[in-house]
Amino acid sequence: MKNYIYIAAIILTYAAGGMPARADDGIVHRSPFDFDADGKTDISIYRPGPSESWIAKSGGGNFVTQFGLPTDKLASADFTGDGKTDIAFFRPSTGQWFVLRSEDSSFFGFTFGTNGDIPAPADFDADGKADATVFRPSTGTWFIQKSSGGFVITHFGIDGDQPVVADYDADGRADIAIRRPASGEWWIDRSSSGVIAYRFGSSLDKTVQGDYTGDGKADVAVWRPSTGIWFILRSEDASMLAFPFGQFGDAPAPGDYDGDGRFDAVVFRPSSSTWFIAKSGGGTTIVPFGSAGDQPLPGAFVR
Ligand SMILES: [Ca+2]
Ligand SMILES: [Ca+2]
Ligand SMILES: [Ca+2]
Ligand SMILES: [Ca+2]
């Protein structure tokens, strides 16, 4: 009972919007999976069978396109730098990337990585364009193809680690980071402030890092499939926020769906093809979109 009251109390804090506003630091913090550049993450899915991506644009209208193969890994990000997320895939069998330009729906492809690599595109050089990136678990090596030119090859992590890239120190540059499931360790190589490590979550938790508190710094966060509880490690003071949202069988799809600069807890429920969005600005939105077997695009980098 005591535990229940504790959780209820923190939900109230969360829903009341008691978080500080995002830092006014001049850095553009774009919402992920924002296909129409209105600052809001869009409800969107990939349907592997027919290789269709369906996007419910928060600015209005639906978009559907056939692109990729059923066995491709989701890798959507803003590679072209126009503020709109580009539908993109990584093909493990060949190490190829395929990007559908948001500007004109033309596509380009290139080879970067090899079978077994895990795609983790993000903007490491802070030029507004996502950089093709893979983490190679077998050797613990990161390969980053910078959009501004040049490559980064660096060792960070060991076999079995999972990439959990985000901007944890709010300098506008994505940070190399891994989660080690067996021990629940997170190791973050912050681009401006050095390496930091946390122990947070259990091996079965799903990684849902993002800026839930609105200070511009991504918060270490996990979603527990067995109970549907979200655990967020606040970047401000490393205190923990926990609240239930979703249930077993759901797929977490974190992002900023209401565009207030704070991540929202979101799950896609395949059994009923329904999205549940706990808006950080307050209120819950329930939207039917997709069908069983679909993969939420905003869940592309949930590990
Ligand atoms: Ca870049
Ligand atoms: Ca950073
Ligand atoms: Ca934060
Ligand atoms: Ca939000």
CB 265 within 8 Å of CB 257: no
pLDDT at 299: 98
User: What is d(CA 217, CA 190) in angstroms, rounded to the nearest whole number?
Assistant: 11
Q: Which residues are registered as beta bridge partners of 269? A: 274
CB 64 within 8 Å of CB 53: yes
Q: Note the residue count of the chain.
A: 303
Cβ-based burial of 8 (10 A; exposed 0-12, middle 13-18, buried ≥19): exposed
Q: Which tokens sit at 64?
A: 């559907």
What separation in Å is there between the alpha carbon of 70 and the centre of ligand 2? 33
Tokens 């109390």 belong to which residue? 9
User: What is d(CA 116, CA 108) in angstroms, rounded to the nearest whole number?
Assistant: 22
What separation in Å is there between the alpha carbon of 190 and the centre of ligand 2? 5
User: What is d(CA 42, CA 303) in angstroms, rounded to the nearest whole number?
Assistant: 20
CB 297 within 8 Å of CB 76: yes
What separation in Å is there between the alpha carbon of 77 and the centre of ligand 2? 17
Ligand closest in space to the Cα of 123: 1
Residues 6+ apart with CB under 8 A from 145: 112, 131, 132, 133, 151
pLDDT at 75: 98
CB atoms within 10 A of CB 36: 18
* Positions of the chain with pLDDT lower than 50, given as ranges: 1-23
What separation in Å is there between the alpha carbon of 114 and the centre of ligand 4? 35
User: What is d(CA 149, CA 215) in angstroms, rounded to the nearest whole number?
Assistant: 30
User: What is d(CA 78, CA 41) in angstroms, rounded to the nearest whole number?
Assistant: 12
pLDDT tens sequence across 160-191: 999 999 999 999 999 999 999 999 999 999 99
What separation in Å is there between the alpha carbon of 32 and the centre of ligand 3? 15
